[in-house]
């Protein structure tokens, strides 16, 4: 159990009554209770909490009723305050993304006029139009027993962090086609662990739904789908939307096998639904994520700068994600590159995650770093803070393989584009299309791109 908890970053899901080959054999009521008691004793010895997610009867060749059970075991590591997971919320405009997040994080239903989504909006025009145009964040916590911790029980984010053993950070992205670049920046910059595609039951696959799905798949972000506004439609309309989703997921471009998630017939309570889906996907991908994180932690420190602030009595503060390595208070790093390709020295004075103090930051975690009296004018979004030992390389030109999804004309030399590489977003010029004079819609090829400012050299596969 210790090994499984370590591999799952503090979480493990046991399925009792399932044979090694996947057959749902089940156990009798007495054997199931004995197995659960044994699991309880093991969990107590390692200091973990155990929660029975679900039980159900199975059809098996036996006169005695047989059951299977799915059990969650969770233990927060000693050197960690809580488990962290980032979920990007994507989907077409007016599909109910912000309202869904508002209900989940506030613990109160919407009044039918958009009250639940008000806390997620950052600008006046978003409140007036009801449409998200920027990137906003909301948190949802779970305690060690799997119970929801949100603003209905806690007044501040600090209280949620203190009482939660697992934290989900929702990244609310724009759905309107006009803000597609902002959505792409959110998916590439904030490194989400999963993407939640919200589809309205009454409109189905419309607008930017296909584009958001394609972008998330191109970035290899695991996806799960939530169908909203089910109460506005007849059952036949909901089933039609589900069939549309199954059809598009099975197409050659996606090659996905849809896996429906149901609990007690339907996921009616939204908090229970998201908890069930999140635990299910975390279990499927936990081993891969844990091993990848361990490998990244062995590398030199690299922190990508996404936001820059000036805080009274604190000084310059930067927000972003630690791409690799481990960052501690008092570490000396270099930040850059500037327009001239230079890097400046700085010192990390303090670290905060979800507004709570933190002494150590590990690869894959998002945080804000206080830099003291470091001059803010020397910083800009898209810079990186790296270990001086890394000896970072910069470039003004690089080669990239591209697929032209759609364009009304041709892609050729001299074409002006916007480049998204991680948290770097800037204009660039196509210097040459290798082996061809031009590309049309659906075409593939490689090209040489020149940028006016000096980014770090892109890694292969970026």
Within-domain flag for 456: no
Query: For residue 413, what is the domain's CATH number?
Result: 2.40.30.10
pLDDT of 270 reads 40
Are 451 and 428 in contact by the 8 Å Cβ rule? The answer is: yes
pLDDT digits (tens, 9 = 90+) for 270-296: 444 444 334 433 333 333 345 677 778
Task: Report d(CA 74, CA 77) in Å as an integer.
Answer: 10
Question: What mean pLDDT comes out for the span 83-102?
Answer: 90
Of the candidates 49, 74, 99, which is a domain's last residue? 74
Within-domain flag for 134: yes
Q: Which residue has the higher pLDDT, 109 or 271?
A: 109
Do residue 258 and residue 152 come from a single domain? yes
Preceding amide of 428 cis, omega within 30: no
Do residue 190 and residue 260 come from a single domain? yes
pLDDT of 281 reads 36
Of the candidates 249, 267, 292, which is a domain's last residue? 292
Query: For residue 103, what is the domain's CATH number?
Result: 3.40.50.300
Are 378 and 344 in contact by the 8 Å Cβ rule? The answer is: yes
pLDDT of 196 reads 93
- The tally of domains found in the chain comes to 4
Of the candidates 243, 258, 292, which is a domain's last residue? 292
Within-domain flag for 175: yes
Highest mean pLDDT among 49-53, 158-162, 323-327, 335-339: 323-327
Within-domain flag for 455: no
Task: Report d(CA 90, CA 215) in Å as an integer.
Answer: 10
Do residue 118 and residue 259 come from a single domain? yes
Q: Which two tokens stand for residue 368?
A: 């804000």
Q: How many CB atoms lie within 10 A of CB 375?
A: 11
Q: What is the DSSP string of 63-127?
A: SS-EEEEEEEEE---TT-S-EEEEEEEEE-TTSSHHHHHHHHHH-S---SSS-TTGGG--SHHHH
- Nearest Cα to Cα of residue 441 among 408, 400, 412, 417: 408
Do residue 63 and residue 105 come from a single domain? no
Within-domain flag for 381: yes
Within-domain flag for 244: yes
pLDDT of 290 reads 56
pLDDT of 81 reads 61
pLDDT digits (tens, 9 = 90+) for 118-141: 878 888 888 888 889 888 888 888
* pLDDT band for position 164 (cuts 50, 70, 90): confident
Q: Indicate the Cα dihedral angle 346, 349, 352, 357, nearest 10°.
A: 170
Do residue 21 and residue 47 come from a single domain? yes
Are 248 and 210 in contact by the 8 Å Cβ rule? The answer is: yes
* pLDDT band for position 342 (cuts 50, 70, 90): confident
Residue numbers of the domain that contains 413: 397-450
Do residue 90 and residue 112 come from a single domain? yes
- What pTM does this model have? 0.75
pLDDT digits (tens, 9 = 90+) for 419-461: 888 778 888 999 999 888 888 888 888 999 998 776 665 665 5
pLDDT of 385 reads 92
Do residue 319 and residue 381 come from a single domain? yes
pLDDT of 266 reads 42
> Taking all residues of the chain, what is their mean pLDDT, rounded to a whole number?
83
Do residue 248 and residue 307 come from a single domain? no
Within-domain flag for 458: no
Do residue 238 and residue 165 come from a single domain? yes
Q: How many helices (H) and strands (E) does the chain have?
A: 9, 25
Within-domain flag for 247: yes
Highest mean pLDDT among 164-168, 240-244, 339-343: 240-244
Do residue 96 and residue 206 come from a single domain? yes
pLDDT digits (tens, 9 = 90+) for 6-25: 777 678 889 898 888 888 88
Task: Report d(CA 398, CA 457) in Å as an integer.
Answer: 8
Instruction: Look at residue 232 and give its three-state secondary structure.
Output: helix
Do residue 14 and residue 124 come from a single domain? no
**Radius of gyration (C-alpha) of the chain in whole angstroms:** 24
Q: How many CB atoms lie within 10 A of CB 165?
A: 21
Question: What mean pLDDT comes out for the span 197-225?
Answer: 90
Do residue 199 and residue 267 come from a single domain? yes
pLDDT digits (tens, 9 = 90+) for 252-263: 777 787 776 654
pLDDT of 458 reads 62
Percent of the chain with pLDDT over 70: 89
């Amino acid at each position: 159990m210790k090994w499984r908890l370590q591999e799952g970053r503090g979480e493990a899901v046991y399925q009792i009554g399932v044979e090694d080959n996947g057959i749902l054999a089940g156990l009798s009521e007495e054997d199931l209770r004995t197995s659960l008691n044994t699991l309880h004793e093991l969990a107590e010895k390692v200091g973990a909490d155990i929660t029975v997610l679900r039980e159900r009867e199975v059809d098996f060749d036996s006169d005695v009723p047989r059951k299977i059970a799915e059990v969650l075991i969770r233990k927060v590591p000693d050197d960690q305050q809580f488990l962290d997971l980032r979920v990007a919320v994507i989907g077409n405009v007016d599909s109910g993304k912000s309202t869904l997040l508002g209900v989940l994080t506030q613990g109160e239903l919407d009044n039918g006029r958009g009250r639940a989504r008000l806390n997620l909006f950052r600008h006046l025009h978003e409140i007036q139009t009801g449409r998200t145009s920027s990137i906003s964040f909301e948190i949802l916590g779970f305690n060690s027993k799997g119970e929801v911790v949100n603003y209905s029980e806690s007044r501040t984010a600090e209280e949620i962090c203190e009482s939660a053993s697992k934290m989900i950070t929702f990244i609310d992205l724009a759905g309107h086609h006009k803000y597609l670049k902002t959505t792409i920046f959110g998916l590439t910059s904030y490194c989400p662990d999963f993407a939640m595609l919200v589809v309205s039951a009454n409109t189905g696959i419309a607008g930017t739904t296909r584009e958001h799905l394609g972008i998330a798949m191109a970035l290899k972000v695991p996806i799960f789908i939530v169908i909203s506004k089910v109460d506005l439609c007849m059952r036949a309309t909901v089933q039609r939307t589900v069939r549309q989703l199954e059809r598009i997921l099975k197409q050659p471009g996606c090659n996905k096998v849809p896996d429906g998630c149901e609990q007690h017939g339907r996921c009616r309570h939204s908090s229970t639904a998201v908890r069930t889906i999140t635990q299910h996907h975390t279990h499927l991908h936990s081993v891969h994520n844990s091993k990848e994180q361990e490998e990244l932690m062995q590398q030199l420190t690299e922190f990508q700068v996404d936001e820059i602030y000036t805080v009274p009595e604190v000084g310059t503060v930067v927000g972003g994600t630690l791409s690799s390595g481990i960052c501690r208070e008092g570490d000396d790093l270099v930040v850059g590159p500037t327009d001239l390709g230079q890097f400046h020295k700085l010192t990390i004075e303090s670290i905060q995650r979800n507004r709570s103090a933190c002494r150590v930051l590990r690869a894959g975690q998002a945080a804000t770093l206080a830099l003291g009296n470091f001059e803010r004018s020397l910083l800009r979004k898209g810079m990186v803070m790296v270990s001086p030992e890394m000896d970072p390389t910069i470039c003004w030109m690089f080669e990239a393989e591209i697929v032209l999804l759609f364009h009304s004309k041709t892609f050729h030399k001299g074409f002006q584009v916007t480049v998204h590489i991680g948290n770097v977003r800037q204009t660039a010029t196509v210097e040459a299309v290798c082996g061809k004079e031009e590309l049309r819609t659906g075409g593939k090829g490689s090209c040489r791109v020149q940028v006016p400012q000096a980014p770090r050299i892109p890694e292969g596969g970026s």
